[in-house]
Structure formats: C-alpha cells, structure tokens
C-alpha cells in the first residue's frame, strides 16, 4: 500500500524550515501583515477568549494524522480493512443460517418471518444498518474516531451473542436490529482515511477501504457455505463473534485516534503541562457534557440526514450507489434458485463468489493507472476537477447491464455463463461504490463520515427493501424475465453517471456545505502560509540578532592590539637589550 504522499502544508513548512536554516542575508521573507490576516488568525486560534491550536497550525507542526509516517498510516489502513470486512461479513453470512433458523423456530422464512408484512430477518438487519451508518458518523466527528468505533464494535458483538443464544424468534430479531443499529459501517472508517490523507492523495487509500467493504460480503458468503452444510446455525453466529472480537481487539490495541481536533486537544494539554503555556483544546472549552445538551445532540444527529436531503452531491451519488447495490443484491438473492437447476450444494454456490472476489481485486488494480495519471497532471501544476474521478466509471459502469443481460440467457442454460456474468457485475459494483465514495470524501473532507453515511444509508436501506419483493418477483416472472427487468433498470441507471461526469460542476455549485468546505480549505491554506511565513521571519530575525550578539561578545573578549600610527616626523627609539 504505497500511500506515502505528504500534505502540501507540511511540505511547504519543511521547505521554509530549510530556507531559514541558511544565513539570514540570503533570504528575504515577505509577509502581508494586514488587518484581514490578523483577524483571520485570531478567529482560528482564539475561542471564548482562550488560545487554541488550529488545524493548519497542527499540520504545519506535524501534529495531525496527515504527518504520520507511511508505516503508521498503513497500519491504520490494515485495521480499517479488518473492521470493514467484519461488519459486512456479519451482514452476508446470516443468509446461510436461515434454513437452520426456520427449522429450529418453526418459521416459514427467516428472511421475513411468519408474516411477510413483518420487518424481520435480513430486513431487520439491513434497514437498521442503514440508520446505523448515519447515527455513528457525526459522533465520530465530534468525539473522535477511535472510541466511537470501539463502542460500535462492542455493541455489534453483544448483538451477535443475543442471536447465538436466542431461545425465541423475536429474541433473534431483536439481536439483528441491535446489530444493524450498532454497525458504524464504512462512514467512520472512511472518515479515518480523510483524516490521514489530503484530498489530492486520498484515492489509493479510499480504494483500499472500499475494496474490503465489498470483499467482506464475499468472505461471509464463501465461509457461510461450508458452515451451513456441515454445522448448525448457532455455529454461524459463533464464527461471527470470533471474527468480531478479533476485529475489536485489533482496533483497540493497534489503531490510533486520527481526528485532528482530538490530536490537537492532546497537544494543547501537553504544552500547558510542559511549558505552562495558556493554550486549550476545543473539547476543554466546549466540554463533553455541553455536547450532550439536547439542542446540540439533535443538531449532531441530524447532520448526516440534512446532508443527504439538502446536499445535491450526497443525494445524487447516494441514490446512484444505492439503486446499483439494490440491483446487485437482487442478483445475488437469485443464486439459490438459479444454481439449484444444476444441483449445486450450499458450498458450491458460495464458491461461485470467488469470481466476484476476483472482479473486485482486478477492478481495484485497474484504477491505479488512473491514479498515477492524476498525480502526473497535478505535479505539472494542473488543477483537476472532482469529476475526473468519475472518468473510468463512465466505462466500467456498463458492465452492470451487460452482466444482467447475459444472466437472462445464461441463467437457464449455463452455470459457467452465470459465473462470468457475476464477474462483470462485480466489476461495476465495486467501481460504482468506490467512485461515488471517492468523490464525496474529496468534496467534504473531515465531514466525509456524515456525507458517506448517506451513501451507506441508501445502499443498505434499498437492499433491505429488496428482501420484500426479490423472491416473489423471481417466482412470478421467472428467471429470464426478471433478469431482463433488472437489465432495463440498470441501463437507465448508467445514464446519470455520464450526466454527472459532464455536468457535476453544476451540482457542486448548488451544494452549499461542499462550497463551505472548499472555502474552508482555501482559508486553511492561507493560514498555513501566514504561519510558515511568520515563523520564517521570526527565525531570520533571531538569527541576525544572534550573529550581532556573537560579534559583540567576540570583540569584548579579544580587544584590538594595534597601536596608533606615529605622528609625522616623530623619532622612533628602539631599545635593545
């Protein structure tokens, strides 16, 4: 994972630092000390009359996660991959427990329960999961990523224990609902990525996190087949618990806090204790209990929903990703019906998902030439519009309708053809998820957890709704006709991708919060320049003062021994002994 690019603020600071170490007469530092700059610095470094460290200052000083060494960032990204896999593993492997749950509790279908109108089973997990993505994201922005993620993983593991030890079907459903609400999803982990990488450098790590988010469901499906065939349904939950516990312990012991505000709070406390400097962190000025006031809590909880319904970027890309995921979910729900024609066992069916895993890995690798091209263009001084991140998707997305069309004919004639169609659909599924997430992380920066929460909400909510009608639809229309309907829907779904690529700048201009983040970044760049220039000027002044002082001290230690020249005509008498 070669994610080692540096933050431009820090690079500029390093360059200035090297300059100021040279003799002062070789460098003149210019700085605009106007009233606007003074008020700008004061607004960012002062709150409620107290001195606080601001994020640009932290980046310049190397105090935020942007400045971490590559090995530390790679370690956190590995933990992100494990957590992503664990959460989606739980969602996918439940399907393999359904037959055992039906038999044990005497229900007709554990997807839906005795009554199709009841929101149970898969529906009871996926729909709360959609809300879980939105509920956990804003608190990670307020209180920090590390402990919010830790609490989420703990609650998920408790919900698995409820399901594994359930004595009644309602108790099982309660555990599923708790598990869905407790799952922070990719919103918090993607926020961690945004904390560590500048938008210009974030594409490879975002791709990495997106890859394991999708692979988690595949791993769950592949492991679930043998567990369903050779063990009982409770063992499936115990396997989930073992994986979830491992992920929680790994996150607790290896991962570190990445949120800039939390890291700067710690630095303020350290400096105050070490030097007595009157500097305070934001959480000290606005305490934890103040954040729990009803008004503040409502505002915090509402942030991701507000962004989903008022930010055109979040709404458009979330709906695109959500409907695509719903179509893919329906495709995979058909596996039991389609592969039963060739007498596939649960293990055989799940091994078909290996083609899906291969599609994810190959598409992931296929994006790296685009990443390299973007870096080359930026290195030449070109500013790339966010829509360039969708350029490759405009081609890959058409694999979705092509795969569904192929399934309409291969679904009743060739299981090998279905495997190939699975590969095509997997390519499109990962590309849609990654491209939409990448665009939103770039647009919303440190608030990308709330923004990407909308993406997770749409994907999980629409997938949960698919549980209501997927099997009835396949039974009513048949395999071929159902796939043809899905093909038509996916074809029209691909058109907005091209439209957004062409006219996305119009959507961005109407997204007020995204424009606010853009202005905030420009302000932070200006503040970083001011801080670097001020420190360079101060270092140059101190260096000149030091040189003058040393010269005076040398003069005092070694006074001149040269005698005045004798007057004209004077006689010089030499005495010799």
Asked if residue 179 lies in contact with residue 127, where contact means CB atoms within 8 angstroms, the answer is: no
Asked if residue 123 lies in contact with residue 173, where contact means CB atoms within 8 angstroms, the answer is: no
Q: What pLDDT score was predicted for residue 32?
A: 43
Q: What pLDDT score was predicted for residue 1?
A: 46
- What is the residue-wise DSSP string for 215-227? HHHHHHHHHHHHH
Across 44-58, 154-168, 171-185, least confident range: 44-58
User: Element (H or E) spanning 51, and its range?
Assistant: strand 50-51
Q: What pLDDT score was predicted for residue 31?
A: 37
Q: What pLDDT score was predicted for residue 119?
A: 39
Q: What pLDDT score was predicted for residue 150?
A: 94
pLDDT, greater one: 3 or 207: 207
- If one counts every other C-beta atom within 10 angstroms of the C-beta of residue 496, the result is 15
Q: Residues 389-415: what's their mean pLDDT?
A: 90
Q: What is the pLDDT confidence band of residue 49, given thresholds at 50, 70 and 90?
A: low
- Between CA 146 and CA 263 the distance in angstroms is 11
CATH of 60-291+303-527, one of 1.20.1300.10, 1.20.1250.20, 3.40.605.10, 3.40.50.300: 1.20.1250.20
Structure tokens of 327?
Answer: 């179509």
Asked if residue 213 lies in contact with residue 197, where contact means CB atoms within 8 angstroms, the answer is: no
- Mean of the per-residue pLDDT values of the chain: 80
pLDDT higher than threshold 80 for residue 509: yes
Structure tokens of 373?
Answer: 């091209």
Q: What is the pLDDT confidence band of residue 76, given thresholds at 50, 70 and 90?
A: very high
pLDDT higher than threshold 90 for residue 253: yes
Across 263-267, 338-342, 520-524, least confident range: 520-524
User: Element (H or E) spanning 476, and its range?
Assistant: helix 448-477
Task: With CA atoms as reference, report the closest residue to 122 among 472, 473, 460, 474.
Answer: 460
Q: What pLDDT score was predicted for residue 164?
A: 92
- Between CA 435 and CA 430 the distance in angstroms is 8
Q: What pLDDT score was predicted for residue 395?
A: 93
pLDDT higher than threshold 80 for residue 122: no
Q: Residues 560-576: what's their mean pLDDT?
A: 43
pLDDT higher than threshold 90 for residue 517: no
pLDDT, greater one: 128 or 283: 128
Domains of the chain, residue spans: 60-291+303-527
pLDDT, greater one: 276 or 570: 276
Give tens-digit pLDDT for 30-45.
Answer: 334 455 666 666 656 6
Q: Residues 113-130: what's their mean pLDDT?
A: 64
Q: What is the pLDDT confidence band of residue 25, given thresholds at 50, 70 and 90?
A: very low
Residues of the chain with pLDDT > 70: what percent?
Answer: 81
Q: What pLDDT score was predicted for residue 241?
A: 94
Give tens-digit pLDDT for 377-400.
Answer: 988 888 888 889 999 999 999 999
pLDDT, greater one: 469 or 572: 469
Give tens-digit pLDDT for 136-149.
Answer: 888 888 888 999 99
Q: Residues 371-379: what's their mean pLDDT?
A: 90
Q: What is the pLDDT confidence band of residue 26, given thresholds at 50, 70 and 90?
A: very low
Give tens-digit pLDDT for 322-365.
Answer: 888 888 878 877 887 888 888 888 788 878 888 989 999 999 99
Structure tokens of 353?
Answer: 């998902």
Q: What is the pLDDT confidence band of residue 320, given thresholds at 50, 70 and 90?
A: confident
């Amino acid at each position: 994972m070669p994610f080692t690019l540096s933050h431009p603020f820090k690079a500029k600071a390093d360059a200035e630092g090297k300059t100021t170490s040279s003799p002062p007469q070789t460098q003149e530092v210019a700085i605009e000390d106007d009233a606007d700059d003074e008020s700008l610095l004061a607004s960012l470094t002062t709150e409620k009359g107290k001195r606080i460290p601001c994020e640009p200052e932290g980046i310049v000083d190397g105090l935020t996660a942007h400045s971490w060494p590559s090995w530390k960032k790679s370690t956190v990204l590995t933990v992100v991959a494990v957590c992503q896999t664990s959460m989606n593993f739980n969602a996918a492997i439940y399907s393999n427990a359904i037959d055992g749950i039906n038999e044990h509790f005497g229900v007709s279908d554990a997807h839906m329960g005795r009554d199709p109108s009841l929101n149970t089973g898969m529906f009871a997990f996926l729909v709360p999961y959609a809300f879980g993505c939105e509920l956990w994201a804003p608190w990670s922005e307020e209180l920090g990523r590390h402990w919010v993620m830790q609490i989420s993983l703990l609650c998920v593991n408790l919900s698995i224990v409820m399901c594994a030890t359930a004595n009644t079907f309602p108790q099982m459903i309660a555990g599923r609902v708790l598990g869905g609400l407790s799952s922070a999803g990719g919103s918090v982990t993607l926020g961690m990525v945004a904390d560590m990488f500048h938008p210009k450098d974030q594409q490879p790590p975002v791709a990495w996190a997106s890859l394991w988010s999708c692979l988690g469901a595949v791993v769950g499906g592949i492991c679930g087949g043998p567990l369903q065939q050779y063990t009982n349904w409770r063992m499936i939950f115990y396997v989930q618990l073992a994986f979830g516990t491992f992920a929680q312990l790994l996150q607790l012991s290896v991962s570190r806090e990445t949120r800039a505000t939390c890291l700067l709070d710690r630095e303020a406390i350290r400096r105050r204790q070490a030097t007595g400097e009157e500097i305070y962190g934001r959480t000290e000025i606005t305490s934890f209990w103040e954040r729990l006031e009803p008004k503040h809590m409502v505002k915090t909880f509402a942030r991701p929903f507000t962004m989903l319904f008022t930010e055109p970027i979040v709404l458009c890309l979330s709906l695109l990703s959500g409907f695509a995921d719903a179509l893919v979910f329906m495709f995979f729900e058909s596996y039991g019906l389609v592969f039963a024609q060739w007498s596939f066992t649960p293990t055989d069916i799940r091994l078909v998902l290996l083609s899906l895993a291969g599609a994810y890995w190959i598409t992931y690798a296929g994006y790296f030439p685009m990443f390299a091209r973007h870096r080359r263009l930026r290195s030449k001084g070109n500013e790339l519009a966010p829509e360039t991140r969708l350029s490759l998707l405009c081609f890959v997305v058409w694999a979705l309708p092509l795969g569904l069309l192929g399934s309409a004919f291969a679904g009743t004639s060739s299981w090998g053809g279905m495997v190939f169609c699975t590969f095509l659909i997997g390519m499109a599924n990962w590309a849609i998820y990654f491209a939409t997430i990448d665009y939103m992380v770039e647009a919303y920066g440190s608030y990308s957890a709330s923004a990407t929460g909308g993406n997770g909400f749409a994907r999980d909510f629409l997938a949960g709704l698919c549980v209501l009608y997927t099997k009835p639809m396949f039974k009513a229309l048949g395999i071929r006709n159902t796939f043809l309907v899905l093909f038509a829907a996916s074809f029209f779904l691909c058109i907005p991708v091209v439209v957004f690529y062409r006219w996305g700048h119009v959507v961005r201009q109407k997204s007020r919060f995204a424009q606010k983040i853009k202005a905030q970044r420009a302000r932070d760049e200006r503040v970083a320049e001011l801080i670097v220039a001020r420190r360079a000027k101060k270092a140059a002044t101190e260096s000149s003062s030091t040189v003058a002082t040393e010269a005076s001290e040398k003069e005092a230690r070694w006074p001149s021994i040269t005698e005045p020249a004798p007057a004209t005509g004077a006689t010089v008498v030499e005495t010799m002994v």
